[in-house]
Amino acid sequence: MYKSPWQHNGSIVYSFVTDLLTASYVPQTPGEDKPYIDFSPEIAEAMYQLKRFNYNSIYLRQELKADMPAIADCYSALFDHCLEQLNNGHNVEQFFFDDEISSQNPVITVRDFIAGMTDDFFLQKAKEIGCKIPQKRNTIAKIKP
C-alpha cells in the first residue's frame, strides 16, 4: 500500500504547487522552446496514487454516502441563510474580504464563501443555524484500500 509522506492537506498542496512551478517551463525570450506545465515524475506518481486512494477509499465507497441527503440539506439551508444575511445588509464580515466582493453578485459571493469552507467550519456554521448535522465519523482511519 502506498504510504504518503504528507501529514495534512496543506503540505500536499504545497508540494504539488512547488513541484509544478519547478517542473514547468516559461521561455524568457521569444523564439525559445514552447512553454509547458508539468510535474516531476515522482510527484506525478504521488498524485496518481493519491487520486486512486481518494476514489477507492472515499468517493466511491457507499458506506460513506449514507449522510449525503442530510449534508445536501445543510448546504441548501446554509446557502439560503447566508444569502438572506447578505441581501438584508447584515454585518456578515466573512463575505467582505475587499471592495470587489461587496460589488459582486450576492449568489456568487455566497457560493464562493461556502465552497471555501473546511468540513469542520461548514458543520459548525450549519449547526449554528439549526441544521441537523450528521455525526462526524473518522472513517478514513478504518479504510483498508
The string of DSSP letters for 29-58 reads STTSSPPB----HHHHHHHHHHHHHHIIII
**Domains identified in the chain, total number:** 2
User: Where is pLDDT greater, at 29 or 38?
Assistant: 38
Residues 123 and 84 in one domain: yes
| pLDDT number for residue 2 | 46
Report pLDDT digits (tens) over 46-58.
Answer: 999 999 998 888 8
Position 94 confidence tier, pLDDT thresholds 50, 70, 90: low
Model confidence pTM above 0.85: no
Q: What is the mean pLDDT of residues 57-65?
A: 82
Distance CA 6, CA 24 (A): 22
Q: Which structural domain, as residue segments, surrounds residue 81?
A: 68-140
| pLDDT number for residue 99 | 52
Instruction: Please check whether residue 4 lies inside any domain of the structure.
Output: no
Report pLDDT digits (tens) over 108-133.
Answer: 888 988 998 888 899 999 999 999 98
Residues 32 and 83 in one domain: no
Last residue of a domain, one of 21, 38, 60: 60
Residues 55 and 117 in one domain: no
Instruction: Please check whether residue 127 lies inside any domain of the structure.
Output: yes
| pLDDT number for residue 10 | 79
